[in-house]
C-alpha cells in the first residue's frame, strides 16, 4: 500500500512475500482443496517455515514480535487469494485461536505449545460457539466440573473452524453453575485425543469449502487442571479481549476479497464486448465500479485506523466494531455487483467470482453479526 501513513517498508516486504506464496502454493491447488473440504496441514507448515504464523509472537518461541498492522497485511493478502476457506483456516490459527494461549497462558503452557503453533506443526481451533450461543457468549451451556486434580467437560460446540483437523483446542466452558451471564466461564486447553472428546460431525457449508468446520462433543472429557487457561472463571474476559483482534483481521480479509473481486471485474468488463463496445465503455458500469472502489478504500482505512489504534494501546472497541460491521456488509455488496457484471459466467461453478460470492456471505455473520456490532457501536456513541 504505497504512500500510506500506516505501513512501512517491512509491512510491504511481508505483503510481497505472502503474494508470492499464494501465487505459487495456493492458486494452483485451491480448487482441489475446495473439493476435499479442507486446506492440507502441510500448507500451514510451509507458511510456518516462512514466518507467517508467528508474526506477533515472541521471538523466543519462533515469532517475529511485529505489530497489529502486520496481521492486517496477512489477512488482506489471504483474502486476495480468492479462496476464503484457505484464508480463514490460516487466520483462525494465527489470530483467533492461538492468541488465547499467548494472552492468557502461563510460562509452562506457552513453552509447551507455542513453538509448534508458530511452525505450523500444531494447528489450533477456538471452541466457543454452541448450538444456542454464538455472538451471545454469556449463553454458554458446556459445563466443566472439578474432580480432584482434573476437570470433567460435558457439552457440545458448533460451527468450529479447523474443528476436524486441529491438534489443539481452546474451549470455553461454564465452571460456576451458580453464576449467570458472563460470569463463571473458564477457558481450557484440550488436546486432540483427550478421553471423552470427539469430533461429532463435519458440517457442510454454503461457502469456505476449503475450510473444515465441525461439531465438537465433550462427554465426560477429563483434562488435567494444568490445562486451565488464564484462571478459573476468567474466560469471558479472555474471549472479549481477543474479539477485537479477531474482528480486525476479519475486516481486513473482507476488504482483501472485495478488492480482488473489483480487480477481476474491471479486467473482465474492459475485455467483454456487448452491442459493439466493451462493458467498460458503458458509463453506468464504470461509474458503479468507481463508486465501489471508493467504498472499499473507505473500508480499508477503517480497518487500518482500528489496527493502528491497537498498536498505540488505545481502546478501539468502537472502531473495530465499525470496521467489522461496515466491511462485512460492504464485501457482500461488492460481490453482488461484481457477479452481476460477469453475467452468466459469474454464476458458473469454477469461476472465482462465483466462489467468492459464496465465501463472502459469512462476513456479515461470523465473528460477530452486523447487528451485534451495531449495538456495540451504539453503546459507545
pLDDT in tens, 262-281: 999 999 999 998 888 999 99
Query: How far is the C-alpha of 305 from the C-alpha of 72, rounded, in Å?
Result: 11
Query: How far is the C-alpha of 148 from the C-alpha of 68, rounded, in Å?
Result: 41
Task: For residue 230, count other CB atoms closer than 10 A to its CB.
Answer: 21
DSSP-based three-state secondary structure for 37: coil
Query: How far is the C-alpha of 251 from the C-alpha of 117, rounded, in Å?
Result: 24
Question: What is the reported pLDDT for 238?
Answer: 85
Torsion sign over Cα 127, 130, 134, 138:
negative
Task: For residue 10, count other CB atoms closer than 10 A to its CB.
Answer: 14
Cα distances (Å, whole numbers) of residue 294 to 1, 2, 202, 258: 15, 17, 39, 12
**Catalytically annotated residues:** 246
Question: What is the reported pLDDT for 138?
Answer: 67
Residue 5 CB-density burial (10 A; 0-12 exposed, 13-18 middle, 19+ buried): exposed
Reading phi first (left if > 0) and then psi (alpha if -120 to 50, else beta), residue 301 is in: alpha
What is the 3-state composition of the chain as percent helix, strand, coil, each rounded to the nearest 5? 55, 15, 30
Question: What is the reported pLDDT for 180?
Answer: 74
Residue 112: its H or E element: helix 107-119
Domains of the chain: 9-122 (1.10.540.10), 125-232 (2.40.110.10), 237-378 (1.20.140.10)
Grid cell at residue 146: 472439578
pLDDT digits (tens, 9 = 90+) for 218-256: 999 999 999 999 999 999 888 888 889 999 999 999 999
Taking 50 as the pLDDT cut, the residues of the chain under it are none
Closest CA to 194 of 238, 172, 224: 224
pTM, full prediction? 0.95
Residue 98 CB-density burial (10 A; 0-12 exposed, 13-18 middle, 19+ buried): buried
Task: For residue 338, count other CB atoms closer than 10 A to its CB.
Answer: 28
Query: How far is the C-alpha of 41 from the C-alpha of 90, rounded, in Å?
Result: 10
Query: How far is the C-alpha of 107 from the C-alpha of 368, rounded, in Å?
Result: 31
Query: How far is the C-alpha of 189 from the C-alpha of 124, rounded, in Å?
Result: 10
DSSP-based three-state secondary structure for 355: helix
Closest CA to 175 of 140, 227, 221: 140
Question: What is the reported pLDDT for 360?
Answer: 98
Closest CA to 52 of 43, 60, 125: 43
pLDDT digits (tens, 9 = 90+) for 127-139: 999 987 656 666 7
Closest CA to 71 of 57, 59, 83, 81: 57
Q: What are phi and psi of 366, to 5 degrees?
A: -70, 150
Amino acid at each position: 500500500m504505497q504512500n500510506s501513513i500506516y505501513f512501512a517498508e517491512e509491512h510491504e516486504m511481508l505483503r510481497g512475500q505472502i503474494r508470492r506464496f499464494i501465487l505459487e502454493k495456493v492458486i494452483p491447488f485451491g480448487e482441489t482443496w475446495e473439493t476435499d473440504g479442507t486446506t492440507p496441514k502441510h500448507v500451514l507448515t510451509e507458511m510456518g517455515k516462512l514466518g507467517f504464523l508467528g508474526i506477533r509472537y515472541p521471538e523466543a518461541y519462533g515469532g517475529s514480535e511485529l505489530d497489529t498492522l502486520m496481521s492486517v497485511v496477512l489477512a488482506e493478502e489471504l483474502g486476495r487469494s480468492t479462496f476464503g476457506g484457505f484464508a480463514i483456516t490460516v487466520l483462525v490459527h494465527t489470530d483467533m485461536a492461538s492468541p488465547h494461549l499467548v494472552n492468557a497462558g502461563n510460562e509452562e503452557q506457552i513453552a509447551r505449545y507455542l513453538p509448534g503453533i508458530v511452525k505450523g506443526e500444531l494447528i489450533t481451533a477456538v471452541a466457543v460457539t454452541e448450538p444456542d450461543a454464538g455472538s451471545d457468549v454469556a449463553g454458554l451451556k458446556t459445563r466443566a466440573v472439578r474432580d480432584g486434580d482434573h476437570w470433567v467437560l460435558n457439552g457440545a460446540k458448533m460451527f468450529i473452524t479447523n474443528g476436524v483437523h486441529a491438534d489443539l483446542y481452546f474451549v470455553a466452558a461454564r465452571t460456576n453453575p451458580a453464576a449467570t451471564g458472563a460470569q463463571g466461564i473458564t477457558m481450557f486447553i484440550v488436546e486432540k485425543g483427550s478421553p471423552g472428546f470427539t469430533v461429532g460431525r463435519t458440517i457442510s457449508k454454503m461457502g469456505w469449502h476449503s475450510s473444515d468446520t465441525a461439531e465438537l462433543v465433550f462427554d465426560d472429557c477429563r483434562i488435567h487442571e494444568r490445562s486451565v487457561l488464564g484462571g478459573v472463571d476468567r474466560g469471558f474476559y479472555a474471549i472479549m479481549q481477543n474479539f477485537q483482534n479477531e474482528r480486525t483481521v476479519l475486516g481486513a480479509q473482507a476488504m482483501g476479497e472485495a478488492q480482488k473481486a473489483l480487480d477481476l471485474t474491471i479486467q473482465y468488463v474492459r475485455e467483454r464486448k456487448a452491442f459493439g463496445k466493451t462493458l467498460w465503455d458503458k458509463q453506468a458500469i464504470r461509474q458503479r465500479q468507481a463508486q465501489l472502489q471508493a467504498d472499499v478504500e473507505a473500508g480499508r482505512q477503517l480497518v487500518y485506523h482500528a489496527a493502528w489504534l491497537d498498536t498505540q494501546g488505545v481502546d478501539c472497541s468502537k472502531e473495530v466494531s465499525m470496521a467489522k460491521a461496515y466491511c462485512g456488509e460492504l464485501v457482500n455488496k461488492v460481490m453482488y455487483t461484481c457477479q452481476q457484471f460477469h453475467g452468466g459466467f459469474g454464476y458458473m461453478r469454477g469461476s472465482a467470482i462465483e466462489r467468492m460470492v459464496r465465501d463472502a456471505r459469512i462476513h456479515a455473520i461470523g465473528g460477530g453479526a452486523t447487528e451485534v456490532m451495531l449495538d456495540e457501536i451504539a453503546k459507545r456513541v
